[in-house]
Structure 1
Amino acid sequence: MQVLDAVAVRRWADACVRSLDANRDDIDRINVFPVPDGDTGTNLSQTMRSAQDSLLRTRADSAGQALAALARGALAGARGNSGVILSQVLRGLAEAAQGASTAGGQAMRAALRRADELATAAVSRPVPGTVLTVLHAAAEAARDCPSDELDAVVTAAAGAGARALADTPRQLAVLAKAGVVDAGAKGLVVLLDALVAVITGQAVEPPPAAAPPRPPESLTTAREAGSAEYEYEVMYLLDGTPDAERLKRRLGALGDCVSVVGDGMGGWTVHVHCNDIGAAVEAGIAEGRPHRITVARFADQIAAQAPRFVRDRAVVVLVEGDGARELFRSEGAVVAGPTDDVADLLAVVVSTRARHVTLLPGDPDLREPLAEVVAQAAEAGQDVVVVPTFSPVQALSALAVHDPSRRAGDDVVAMAEAAAATRRGEVRVSEREAITWVGPCRPGDLLGMLDGEVLLIEPGPADVAALACRLVDRMLAGGGELVTVLLGEDAPDGLADEVEHHLRVTHPEVEMAAYPGGQPGAVLVVGVE
């Protein structure tokens, strides 16, 4: 489909309603910003249903008319801050398509740009890492798409939105601590994905079985945003020609989470959190005719959420190499790449949803960021312990003795002892000139390293297997029963077989286990226990 017409808009509205209904509980569950009230998915779903109802009651023969009907319905039925933002997204689409029977790729670019402008203007204090960030990324991707075809533009926008959604925990610490993405942003991505499905002709996946009906709404509600200082949410529609900025200032003096937004056709929605309900309504009377006034008292207790911890223990391993990651996953560990970004590390820890987390870093350079992760996790009520492991072979030794049936403290001690008892060696190619304990090395030389120090140097090109065997012999000089070998990405074919043959001849009492590790820049990583 290369143009969006009235029929396609109706199909998209239906797909949005079904997709938001299907994802409502998941979006509610990850709703932690600004406060964990668990109602963003519900608010988005109900706002979109109001938009669809308006479209179904309107005779719309063009894309512009259909989108305008959606915008009017969303504004009239907006629920919470997320619903207000959704109404402005739909208004932006409607304004860009105004008077047009169809909308193509160029029109979609303009529509997303206008939606970005209006949604940002609707929020008094925009924060990075929210739905506004994701909408902006989608609008920019549509603008920069090299093709003018509608399917290419919407696909680029949805893809950029999904990537921006994945980055929201890096922009908001509260999301990283909870191990979730932004709930409102997730809802927007659901809508963009539904648009891609309609435009490209791919069937929208049917939603899962409907959730049980919710109980009737009471006189209390959950707080979607704002300060706990204010007890009531006041919303109303406003007819007339209000001075929006003046009304915002007056409401801002009464409370927070103020929004005064229009549908571009003379309709306005007013939203504020405050304590003085009468003054909030009087402010609207001074600017026009308020109607459909709703007042809700925030619940004293946040609605019950899914339990934060779903298991008692988890082990997190930070390691490079596809083979090594798969090896640790097969042993039951949570695996992530090594990084010194505290937010990324914290997100991995929180995502385990485990009360006690043991971290096996595999890299001595991560001490400082991991100390910060431990401190932040402790503040949030999660117990995190770092076991000193400076190589993936030490992490393997620690994981091998992990026993979740033991007391957490005893288990950590056993893992630390196993790691400390494992000598770590490595064979790699030198990348630069340097002075080592055993003399100078040059780029291309083969280095044999033991516990982080260069022990052997062979001028390149050298016999990799011979140097690896010499290194293993030096490591076994102090004794050992098991040799573990991880083959790096630079390992030549047959290297493990040659080392194993050498051990059978020179150390027949020693067992050897070899795995494809794939560590970048390494030829071989070896551990001796």
Structure 2
Amino acid sequence: MKYQKINGHDFYNMVVNASNRLLEESEYVNALNVFPVPDGDTGTNMSATFKAAVKEIEGLNSMSIAETSKKLAKGALMGARGNSGVILSQILRGISKGLEGKNEVDAIELAIAFKEGSNAAYKAVMRPTEGTILSVIRAAADAAIDTDVKDIVDIMDVIVTEAKIMLDKTPDLLPALKKAKVVDSGGMGLYIILKGMYDALRDDIKAEIRDIKPATAKMQGAQGTEDIDIKFGYCTEFIILADASKAEKFRDDITPMGDSQVVVGYEDVIKVHIHTNDPGAVLAKAVKLGELSKIKIDNMREEHREVLLSKEEYKEANIDDSAHFEGEAAVEELEQEKKKYAFVAVAMGEGITNIFKDLGVDYVIEGGQTMNPSTQDIMECVSKLNAEHIFVLPNNKNIIMSANQAAEIADKDVRVIPTTTIPQGITCVTMFNPELEVDENVENLKEAREMVKTGSVTYAVRDTEMDGIEIKEGNILGLIEGKIKRVGESYFDITEEILSDMIDEDSELITIFYGEDVTEEEAEEFAEKIEEKYEELDVQCYKGAQPLYYFLVSVE
């Protein structure tokens, strides 16, 4: 086929075919992950992002390429998952800007639009790295600008050819890719998209959107709607103005009095959270240590009954309650009193999710490794919160860009604290001071996350060599701040080794979150061993129930 110009219908077929191709190849793109850990998700994120984009134009049937591309960009913006998905959404946003006001375009105009896509992608990244998806879109766009071909099929051929040439060069630009003997996964995802667009035009493909829905993040509010048996009825929170060294002994003292206890000490402050049936007894023990402040006691049974009653009243009144009771979130929005601060956090694992909720986080989006929430997922939480200032804790470096994108388009004051690990997020919530103004809190929370050293223990999904370390499939990997530091056969030994690497003379607190593949008995035995080894440090152990990672550990 030959095309001197393409319109909205042509562009529709191009991008839908591209989406279908990427969906087919998403696992292959995932497998290009440089790190041999079981959370390579670039293909999944890019495919979910592009699928959200084409879903936005489904049934549009517009001859205008401007209208089609604008809606496509909007869908990608809201559906963007992970860093690769956000960058892809910005490429589509730039292309849409280049096509603005046009019903159809020729080869030169299409080339200019691709250049706009490249420019937008580079602007979206604070420190652009060559050898990535950015290099691939730039090379493709520059080649389109420089060529003198007039046929659209021919210019798409140039774009695809140059994209492949640059993709093959990515290992020369990034040493990590060369060591792993792979090309950049984001660049490969983009190449598949461009090739799909080219094939649709060249072969006159009338594409139909594959009806396969990507996995969506699960959002949970602070309370569920199910009729549950609440063993300990009073959520009790307060601060003790006392020496932080007393925190461990106090935690042991109140452990028999309830559950969900979190006791954290920092300098001359001890922050306490516990679910108990006798708040008075807990406070009586606390006041012996020092002056009490910020006491907050909530009757969880009463609150739960009110939520259930409100839901039942809605049903009896024949009112569609979907806007007020979303899945398990069950948040009553009618006449909700505006508060000063609210929190949204991303977490993986039932135990970690519960910890965030127990600490007062308003919404927890269940996601993280292998399932990055989209900009839309974060926006849905933000839209339900009636607060002056909303803090978002991504708790994963691959979610920060989606969170920032949500903050930019929200009509509320949303502050993203760029936490890259679960322990950083938990520390930030713990150290939050509701009495401070928002800017001071932002600075304090950013400083608080820097206090946390994070380690993780998982397994290798393939053979490779990294930084001179030989790794075999199935090996246990110990990572510190995302970098592989230890390799072995036992996840208990590797966890102990990375803790040894992380602890220094300033360390005071070790926190252990055990995953779904570790039993409670094993975790408790391991924690006791660590306590004996580091008698001078406070050791806390929690059920994280996180997938893929046997242990997440932090040192503060």
TM range (shorter): 0.3 to 0.5
Rg larger for: 1
- Higher RCO (Cα < 8 Å, 6 or more apart): 2
The alignment's TM-score, normalised by the length of structure 1, stands at 0.45
